A = this chain, B = another copy of it.
């Protein structure tokens, strides 16, 4: 369910932190609609260029997006959603948050003891 080693937990946390910021969530949602450059998102979201660069880097470090230069005019840089990452985390969340995986168990406190006792009573021949 939850990754065991620290490395994977950090990776997971980085992804969650990346999406846990309103502006980055908006940026990512925009990129899901198609590749985009800094200047385009600047207009759509009304954020400063350097601030966008900052958020891009965090999304990129989290592995959620990647970038490439325009093949005609190298001054333009396009950001895209990383399909493999989207697939991976889509599947992970689908598993992790699955309500069917919520388990029942006897609580550790006094109430749990009572229930155990009740079960003994219930299991007695009537």
**A→B interface (CB under 8 Å):** 1-2, 9-10, 12-13, 16-17, 19-22, 25-26, 29, 32-37, 39-40, 70-73, 76, 78, 81, 83, 86-87, 89-90, 93-94, 96-99, 101-105, 107-111, 113-114
Report chain B residues within 8 Å CB of A113. 72
Known A-B contacts A13-B22, A25-B13, A110-B73; the reply to A93 vs B86 at CB < 8 A is no
User: Do residues A111 and B32 form an inter-chain contact, with CB atoms below 8 A?
Assistant: no
A70 B110 Cβ-Cβ under 8 A: yes
Q: How many copies does the complex hold?
A: 2
Partner of A32 from B72, B101, B109 at Cβ < 8 Å: B101
Is there contact, CB below 8 Å, between B21 and A13? yes
B103 A34 Cβ-Cβ under 8 A = yes
On chain B, the residues within 8 Å of A111 by CB distance are 70-73, 76, 78
Q: List 25 A-B contacts (CB under 8 A).
A: A1-B29, A10-B22, A12-B25, A16-B16, A16-B20, A16-B25, A17-B20, A20-B20, A32-B101, A32-B102, A33-B103, A33-B105, A35-B105, A70-B107, A70-B111, A71-B111, A72-B110, A72-B111, A76-B111, A78-B109, A87-B99, A89-B97, A90-B93, A93-B93, A94-B94
